[in-house]
Every structure is written in C-alpha cells, then in structure tokens.
Amino acid sequence: MKRKKMLWIFLIIPVAIAAYYFFPEKKLPAGKTIDRLVVHKAAHKMEARSGSELLKTYIISLGKDPVGHKQFEGDCKTPEGTYTINARNPKSAYYKNLGISYPNATDKAYAEKQGKSPGGDVKIHGLRNDRGYIGKFHRWKDWTAGCIAVTNEEMEELYKAVKQDAVIEILP
C-alpha cells in the first residue's frame, strides 16, 4: 500500500509543477492603456488599472528584503509610496523595464540626513536576459535588489500598455 501511495506522489508532483509552469494565464485585454499600477507588497500582487477599471492582477517578486520602505542604496527593499513610470528601456540586462521615479525629494532628504545614498534605478522588469526559462518559478521567492519583477510575457504586456507618467502606488 505504501508503494502505491509513494508512486502517486512521485507522479502527481511533477504533473502539478508542469501544469503550474505551462498553464496559460489571463492576458491583458487588447487595446487597453494602463494609467495606474497599484502594488500590494505583502500580497505580492500588482494591479493594472485604466481609470477605475481593474484590467489584470499580476503576481510579483520584490526586493530580497521586502518589508518596509526603501531607505538606502543596497538595502534590497522595494520602495513604498506614490511614484510615476518615468522611463522605459527595451535593452536592459533584464527583459525590458519600466522606470519608477524613486527616489523622490523626501526619499533623498531622509537618506542625506543619514549620510547615505537613497539608491535609484528601481524598475518593473522581466527576468534576467539569460534566465527567461525560469518563467513563473521566479515568483517563489523575492530576489531583486528592490525592483518589481514579473515574467517576460507579462513584461511584454506592461511595456506596451503602461502609459508614460502612469502613477504607481506601492503599498506595504
């Protein structure tokens, strides 16, 4: 009896993992423009909105030390607060990226008082260019230096649909 149970476990786990990896997710509705992103860090979710309409919710990875607001360069925290999407880079080291306007004046002033750099280059990006095969498995842990990461397919959607100067609100 134990052998049959073990056999089922060894069969079910790989099938479940393959289903998770290959099962297609809901696509962003065609022709929509995203003017607001809302990140819920504790839930590891990012909402894409057009006006008051929720278009899609993404599962995200964050900085390696995600709890709390980014204060200094190298703290591996994802910032909290309201910023804008102020840049886009189709040729970054990670599959495309959208720049977040961190640090703002308050962030800079706080870091300066502490005698430190606030850091910068906080982005929404896909996976590292040589690691796209990881796909959805990247979500299983927080791994960035403070950025918000999505799959390459999701980054493609966001890159096309997020308007310049869209608001991004990053909540704890």
SS3 131: coil
Catalytic-labelled residue, pool 40, 44, 76, 125: 125
β-bridge mates for residue 88, sequence order: 98
Is residue 125 among the annotated active site residues? yes
Measured CA to CA, the distance from residue 85 to residue 32 in angstroms comes to 17
Residue 43's closest CA among 62, 26, 16? 62
Residue 120's closest CA among 149, 136, 139, 100? 100
CA torsion 73-80-85-129 (nearest 10°) is: 60
Is residue 147 among the annotated active site residues? yes
Q: Which residues are catalytic?
A: 125, 147
